[in-house]
Structure 1
Amino acid sequence: MNSSGGIEYTTVRELRGPLAVVGGLSGIGWDEDVRITLASGEVRHGVVLDADRDLAVVQVLEGTSGMDPSGVRAAFSGGPLRVPVGTDWLGRVCNGRGDPLDGGPPVFGSHHAEVGGAPVNPVRREPPSEPVLTGVGAVDTLTTLARGQKLPVFSTAGLPHLELAAQIAAQSTTSGAAFSVVFAGMGLTHADAAFVRDALEERSAAGELVLLLNTADDPVIERILTPRIALTVAEHLAFTGGRHVLVVMSDMTMYAEALREVSAARGEIPARRAYPGYLYSDLASLYERCGRIRGRPGSVTVLPVLTMPAGDITHPVPDLTGYITEGQIVLSPETHARGVYPPLDALSSLSRLMRKGAGPGRTREDHLDVAAQLLAAVARARQVRDLADLVGRAALSPTDRRYLDFEETFLRDFVDQRSDAPRDLDTALERAWRALLVLPRGQLSMLPARLLDAHGAKDLADPDGEVPR
């Protein structure tokens, strides 16, 4: 008998790659947690991928290297994987399955919780409100993140999405209760994992961060567990501990690739682009675990980061993510090529819950008006730039030339910022005003006259209406 009172089976019939086929079983279910003991006494862990009659296919998290089928004992827990939860996670650096990487002892908790979790009951869900400020001026101004929201970052290979994710995890703040960050890295290179650890070292040392790092050479089944463990830890910190928790998950495309690989190992019929047919519901089972619960303190806010293969926003992972989440932050290769960080594509980015977390009483009275005017001006500036490419700048009207000046100021003064220098919202909004005042007053029709007067907006014909510097 094992320590949990379950039966240990020794009928391991086959080892194939990371899979072990165990026979002579009864009452075994999918996703069941398995404890595997080798003849040497070494303990490994696994998850049931498939169960049929008296056979079970077990994915061994640590791999089957060095295992002798005749000396292996497998104990099935009777339920899915459970992890300890509590504040002991704060300040720890662990691998994708929760084992310490920081040289410390195993993480302990007051009790254990199933990593599968459950979406928040819609009847008890409290609408998101109040902002989570990321310290990234363009994001906070144009796509404000509300507490309890799920807002993905869409990127492509070669763009600094991991740098942005680490920056947001390091800088984010919110008012009210204690604030914590859970960062789940999936499929990272060792260099990227080291970068994330360095970037988040200060927040980790302050006891405000949980860091889970799954690297590209770790088992794929661990990559599927990583976001689930992160959300399980976050839920307890939020709904039991009363904290506001931001969960940053990067890269969800690597997670989906792992899900496709495990689905193929199970022998399931593939669907669109060989992903399993349940990709939508699987992603939803992660994203919908965020939110606020009526009558409970705290909140869970989710920021998934994903790369779009070949920049294709219709690829299944970004496409399905867009259906589930409440907007998106899109990074632009063109803006990146101009040397601007973060390379935000302002017109493709959207936070559908921005009005719940911004405006009078939440951020600043002029916030929503300034954001709307900025987007309108950026849209017009793009049209003017296309026209200038055809006819030349000299053929443009004076107002159109001001739009080109606005676009440059918008990118260089408002969007561009150092990754290690947080920008508070007041500073970001003042920079936004500086960009808008490049335009003639008559073009700023979305801003109230009293705000224009307060900031000294001038008409194009005004002899003193010079471009603000």
Structure 2
Amino acid sequence: MKLEYIGLKQISGPLVIIEGIQGASFEEMVEITVDNSEKRIGRIIELYGDIAVVQVFEGTSNISLTNTKTRLLGHSLEIPLSKEILGRIFDGVGRPIDGMGEIFPEVKWDVNGKPINPVSREYPRNYIQTGISSIDGLTTLIRGQKLPIFSGNGLPHDALAVQIVRQAQLAQQEDAEFAVVFAAMGVKHDVADYFKRSFEESGVLQKVVMFLNLANDPVVERIITPRCALTVAEYLAFQHNMHILVILTDMTSYCEALREISSSKGEIPSRKGFPGYLYSDLASLYERAGMLKDRKGSITQIPILTMPNDDITHPVPDLTGYITEGQIVLDRSLHQRGVYPPVIVLPSLSRLMKDGIGEGFTREDHPAIANQLFASYAHVQEVRALASVIGEDELSEIDKKYIEFGKAFEREFISQNKEENRSMDNTLDLGWRLLGILPKEELDRVDVKILDKYYRPYSSTRSEL
């Protein structure tokens, strides 16, 4: 017989404190009955002897110290899993919200996942093609990598996320199954509707599993949403040998929810009020990406986060940068000039890119052209700084060529239509065409053989692409 605990000792925000608990476990789920009718679920997050602190997922409105009965469920939060979850839409804790009924599970897995033994990991190889030149050409997404997007309020990271979901595909392995797990945290209703409508209209919803935690949903649910998404990804990747791309937006909302709950618990704050364990908490999510030696599937992560006041040193992007393998940075000045996607190339990088491009993966010239585009565009910034002092008319002829290259690079390579899906060959050919603006002797990052094979003087038409 299971015991029911009548009443509460204390209520604090989304937390309730129960006294006299026996045999409880950390992370154990509880069922709270309010006024003998409404049932809510919660999770034990702290234990002090016979006192338990419980997060209530549906919030603590209408709960008093005397109108509740609490029952321990004997297990941590689990999500039902089967392959029929593809094409389905769930709320932040994994309950279906698409009107298509409940999931009939093959298994139920703990949303906290199981740590991957580092010895069992396979080194990430090969790439996922997004159809976006600034990503595919210069910060290539490698299968099994975690590559965040650093954005800002008002920048088009939502549109970029939708475009990646719509266009992402495996390269040179058409027989392998590919799917996307998309988790949105703390989004407004219109943004959630935009995501659903975009995926439905483009016909990709059948290969997407969506988790939507809305801005007016209880803040506690936001902590669970990415864990549910990653559990689904692990199930599809390691049980069904699928290649899964996980997109998590917006991780800043997740961290702010963590800060709010930490404050409710009375914990000592760290930088900007975030808890001192923010790094290890983020690592527990990001490190669930990767590949295993004895499985064919893979999990690739693209966490999207907005930087408050565009501050890249803010704790959320700062700690994320330590854990992940690079970053893609969106720039407000490029956005104001009408460039989409406004990816600023120089601070963006993919640390695993070198191991998944080149001959046998993309094309033999890819590493060389990526290095040359970075180097040439970096020189463009130096020339622009000089031009701001002495004026563009006083620049040398070669510096004027760099100014021309910089404008063409931003207009044609970085910028592209939201519906435009460029192949890897198109991206690399476009890069070579723009490098043709510069004299051949300026391209000092490219081997002579590759330079002779691919270099052509610049043409203003793009018919050859």
Q: TM-score, normalised by structure 1?
A: 0.93
Matched-pair contact (CA < 8 Å) for 1:167–1:199: no
Tell me by how many angstroms 1:12 deviates. Answer: 2.8
Structure 2 match to 1:217:
216
Tell me by how many angstroms 1:466 deviates. Answer: 7.0
**Secondary structure of 1:297's match?**
coil
Answering whether residue 386 of structure 2 is matched by residue 387 of structure 1, we say yes
Q: Which one of 115, 119, 137 corresponds to residue 115 of structure 2?
A: 119
Q: Distance in 1 between matches of 2:33 and 2:203?
A: 34
Deviations 1:263-289 (Å, cap 9, x if unpaired)? 111121111221111111111110001
In the alignment, structure 2 segments of 5+ residues that lack a partner are: none
Structure 2 match to 1:403:
402
Q: Distance in 1 between matches of 2:138 and 2:23?
A: 53
Deviates more, 1:378-387 or 1:56-65: 56-65
Q: Distance in 2 between matches of 1:50 and 1:466?
A: 66
Aligned ranges 1:51-200 → 2 under 5 Å: 51-67=47-63, 69-175=65-171, 176=173, 177-200=176-199
Structure 2 match to 1:297:
296
Structure 2 match to 1:462:
none
Amino acid corresponding to residue 196 of structure 1 in structure 2: F
**Secondary structure of 1:420's match?**
coil
Tell me by how many angstroms 1:40 deviates. Answer: 4.8
Amino acid corresponding to residue 430 of structure 2 in structure 1: R
Q: CA RMSD in A?
A: 1.8
**Secondary structure of 2:309's match?**
helix
Q: Distance in 1 between matches of 2:86 and 2:3?
A: 35
Deviations 1:18-74 (Å, cap 9, x if unpaired)? 333322212323322112233453321112233223222222111233346544322
Deviations 1:340-386 (Å, cap 9, x if unpaired)? 00101100000000012111111111111111110011000111111
- Amino-acid identity (%): 48
Answering whether residue 255 of structure 2 is matched by residue 259 of structure 1, we say no
Amino acid corresponding to residue 149 of structure 1 in structure 2: Q
Structure 1 match to 2:27:
31
Amino acid corresponding to residue 399 of structure 1 in structure 2: I
Structure 2 match to 1:325:
324
Q: Distance in 1 between matches of 2:182 and 2:10?
A: 37
Q: Distance in 2 between matches of 1:350 and 1:71?
A: 55
Matched-pair contact (CA < 8 Å) for 2:7–2:67: no
Distance 1:157 1:129, change over 3 A: same
Tell me by how many angstroms 1:295 deviates. Answer: 1.0
Amino acid corresponding to residue 362 of structure 1 in structure 2: F
Matched-pair contact (CA < 8 Å) for 1:9–1:74: yes
In the alignment, structure 1 segments of 5+ residues that lack a partner are: 459-464
Answering whether residue 380 of structure 2 is matched by residue 412 of structure 1, we say no
**Secondary structure of 1:102's match?**
coil
Matched-pair contact (CA < 8 Å) for 1:144–1:354: yes
**Secondary structure of 2:73's match?**
strand
Amino acid corresponding to residue 261 of structure 1 in structure 2: E
Q: Distance in 2 between matches of 1:427 and 1:340?
A: 19
Count of aligned pairs:
459
Distance 1:78 1:296, change over 3 A: same
Q: Distance in 1 between matches of 2:349 and 2:11?
A: 48
Tell me by how many angstroms 1:138 deviates. Answer: 1.2
Q: TM-score, normalised by structure 2?
A: 0.94
Deviations 1:101-152 (Å, cap 9, x if unpaired)? 2112122321111111133210000000010111211100000011110111
Tell me by how many angstroms 1:336 deviates. Answer: 1.1
